[in-house]
Amino acid sequence: MRFGAHISIAGKIYQVAERAKRIGCNTAQIFSRNPRGWQLKELLSDEVKRLKDDLERFDIHPLIVHIPYLPNLASPKIGLYLKSVNALEEDLKRSEVLGAPYLVTHIGSFGESSREEGLERVSEGINTAFNRIKNEVILLLENTAGAGRELGSRFEEIAKIIENIKEKERIGICLDTCHGFVSGYDFRTKKAVSETLKLFDNLIGLKKLKVVHANDSKSPMGSRIDRHWHIGKGYIGEEGFRALLHHPAMRNLPIIIETPFKESGDDVSNLAILRKLAK
């Protein structure tokens, strides 16, 4: 089990390694570009080489890339949908360049169409991207909080998307504990964790679980309100995270925090709590 955080790429991309090391990460997640725009900043070969060298030197792996916020693979708006598929293709390529084995994506919102049509568009968009971009990067679908017309809050929906993916070996799951909790899955006790992961296994398969976003929740279970909170200080609590981290399915997974960051010690503190609970 390896612990890390989402790390800023401000400045030079290679600065990620030092930032991750400074707060005690031995895995890390990044955006490969501006998360709130469509523009691409070229990845310079000398900077990428330095990043890879420093990550290896600091024993930080795997590097995980997260797709920006704007793409929506479920959108019924053709312009946005095509831009989203293109963004997925670009990030598949950029992940390979960066040496990241995993690319995390939000599933998207179905807008004014039907839920079923949205699920079909997601699968079709992924199939299109996989057909155009041939590499070994595994795309991870992140479960959502289920607000509004979001897709992917239920394990059944994620299973349906995967069912229609042609190259299934290229798809996996990033499980976000806060999103899962506010969408109705319980993580508060050993029994609850066991039952939730058993359901996940039955519907999707634990072998598909590649990354965990460990976030406590400032909102109650089933509220569908996505508010990440500090480990042990939210509605999931320390008992829940202790149970999760001791579950056999977590043994070799990268655990990434996306908890609030207001002071320089926040990430250090949250990572320390996770490591304590994992003992």
**Listed residue (158, 94, 79, 156) closest to 126, CA to CA:** 158
Would you state the structure tokens that stand for residue 144, as one six-digit string? 């959502």
Q: Which residue out of 94, 170, 188, 213 is catalytically annotated?
A: 213
226 belongs to the catalytic site? yes
258 belongs to the catalytic site? yes
Q: Which residue out of 6, 19, 66, 94 is catalytically annotated?
A: 66
Backbone angles phi, psi at 188, to 5 degrees: -85, -20
Q: Which residue out of 106, 121, 170, 188 is catalytically annotated?
A: 106
CA distance 183 to 148: 11
- The helix/strand/coil state of 212 is strand
188 belongs to the catalytic site? no
179 belongs to the catalytic site? yes
169 belongs to the catalytic site? no
Q: Which residue out of 69, 132, 156, 167 is catalytically annotated?
A: 69
Q: Which residue out of 94, 228, 235, 267 is catalytically annotated?
A: 228
Q: Which residue out of 96, 117, 239, 258 is catalytically annotated?
A: 258
53 belongs to the catalytic site? no
- Given CA atoms 176, 177, 182, 185 in this order, what sign does their dihedral have? positive
Q: Which residue out of 90, 91, 176, 216 is catalytically annotated?
A: 176
Q: Which residue out of 6, 81, 94, 142 is catalytically annotated?
A: 142
CA distance 64 to 31: 9
Would you state the structure tokens that stand for residue 199, as one six-digit string? 């359901």
| Owner of token pair 């039955």 | 202
246 belongs to the catalytic site? no
228 belongs to the catalytic site? yes
Q: Is 217:229 a contact under the CB 8 Å cutoff?
A: yes
Q: Which residue out of 6, 33, 94, 179 is catalytically annotated?
A: 179
Q: Which residue out of 14, 226, 235, 242 is catalytically annotated?
A: 226
120 belongs to the catalytic site? no
CA distance 140 to 155: 14
Q: Which residues are catalytic?
A: 36, 66, 69, 106, 142, 176, 179, 213, 226, 228, 258
